[in-house]
C-alpha cells in the first residue's frame, strides 16, 4: 500500500523471532516505512536472561528478512532503561534513514510472574523499569526529535489487556501496564499541539515466544491438565473464539500510525477479540 513510504519507524523489543515487535516491524516495512530493529542485543543482568531478549544475531536476521522482501531496515541495540541509549536510538533513525516519524515502545518484561508474597523488590523494579519507565524514556526521546523536526509523529506503546484488568501472579506487570494508560493521557495533552499522537495498543494473550512461556506457567497455576486444555479454555471465553495473533496487534499499530488516525490520541485500544470490554 505504501502509506508509510518516506517515513522511519523505530520499534523497541523487535529483535526476537515470533515476537510482537518482529510482526510490527515487518508490517510497517511492508507498507513502505524504513524500520529500525532494536533490542537489548545481549543479556545485561539477571532481570534480562538470554532466552527472553532479542540477541544481536536475531536482530540482524529480522532486518535481513525485511531487506530481502524489498524493504529498508537497520539495527541498533538499546537498553530501554537508559534514557541516553534511547536518545542514541532516535538519533540513529535520523542519521541512518533521514527522519523519525513513528516510535513503537514494544520492549517489555512479561516473564517475571510470581505469587504476591514471593515477589521481591528487585522483581518489582525490574518490571516497572522496563515496562513503564522504558516507555516514558521512549516517548521523551522520540518527542524531542519529532518536536524539533516540526512534522508531527506517531508514538504507540504496546500495553496489554493487563492495562485494564488485574491478573494473579502479575502484580508488577499489571501495575506497569495500567501506568501506561495514565502516561499516554498526559503525554498526548502536551504533544498534541505538535501534531504528535500518543496511544496504547492493548492486546490479550498472544502466543509469541514469551507467550508460549506464559502458557506453560499459567496452565500450571490454574491446574489445567495440559497447555492445550488451558488454551482451549482461553479460546472459549473470548467472543471471537481464539487468542490474539501477532498480526492483530501489528494491524492496530499500523492503523494508529497512519494518516487515518491523525485525530486519535490518548487512547488505549483493546485488541482482544471482545475479551476485554473496558
Tell me which residues are annotated as active site. 173
58 in helix, strand or coil? helix
Q: How far, rounded to the nearest angstrom, does the alpha carbon of residue 250 sit from its chain's CA centroid?
A: 10
40 close to 53: Cβ distance less than 8 angstroms:
yes
29 close to 71: Cβ distance less than 8 angstroms:
yes
**How many Å apart are CA 139 and CA 198, to the nearest integer?**
8
**How many Å apart are CA 118 and CA 121, to the nearest integer?**
10
Which of 188, 199, 201, 123 has its CA nearest to residue 162?
201
75 Ramachandran zone, left/alpha/beta (phi>0; psi -120 to 50): beta
Tell me the three cell numbers of residue 190: 502536551
Amino acid at each position: 500500500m505504501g502509506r508509510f513510504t518516506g517515513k522511519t519507524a523505530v520499534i523497541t523489543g523487535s529483535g526476537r523471532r515470533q515476537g510482537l515487535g518482529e510482526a510490527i516491524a515487518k508490517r510497517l516495512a511492508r507498507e513502505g516505512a524504513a524500520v529500525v530493529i532494536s533490542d537489548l542485543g545481549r543479556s545485561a543482568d539477571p532481570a534480562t536472561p538470554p532466552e527472553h531478549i532479542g540477541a544481536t544475531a536475531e536482530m540482524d536476521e529480522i532486518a535481513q528478512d525485511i531487506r530481502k522482501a524489498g524493504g529498508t531496515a537497520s539495527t541498533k541495540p538499546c537498553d530501554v532503561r537508559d534514557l541516553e541509549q534511547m536518545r542514541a536510538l532516535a538519533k540513529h533513525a535520523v542519521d541512518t534513514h533521514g527522519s523519525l516519524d513513528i516510535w513503537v515502545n514494544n520492549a517489555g518484561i512479561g516473564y517475571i510472574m510470581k505469587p504476591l508474597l514471593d515477589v521481591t523488590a528487585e522483581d518489582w523494579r525490574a518490571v516497572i523499569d522496563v515496562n513503564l519507565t522504558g516507555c516514558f524514556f521512549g516517548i521523551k526521546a522520540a518527542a524531542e526529535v519529532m518536536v524539533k523536526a516540526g512534522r508531527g509523529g506517531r508514538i504507540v506503546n504496546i500495553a496489554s489487556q493487563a492495562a485494564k484488568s488485574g491478573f494473579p501472579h502479575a502484580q508488577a506487570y499489571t501495575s506497569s501496564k495500567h501506568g501506561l494508560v495514565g502516561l499516554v493521557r498526559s503525554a498526548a495533552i502536551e504533544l498534541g499541539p505538535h501534531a504528535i499522537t500518543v496511544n496504547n495498543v492493548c492486546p490479550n494473550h498472544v502466543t509469541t515466544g514469551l507467550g508460549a512461556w506464559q502458557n506453560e506457567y499459567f496452565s500450571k497455576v490454574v491446574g489445567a491438565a495440559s497447555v492445550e486444555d488451558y488454551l482451549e479454555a482461553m479460546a472459549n471465553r473470548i467472543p471471537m473464539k481464539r487468542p490474539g495473533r501477532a498480526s492483530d496487534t501489528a494491524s492496530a499499530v499500523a492503523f494508529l500510525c497512519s494518516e487515518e488516525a491523525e485525530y486519535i490520541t490518548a487512547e488505549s485500544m483493546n485488541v482482544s477479540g471482545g475479551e476485554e470490554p473496558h
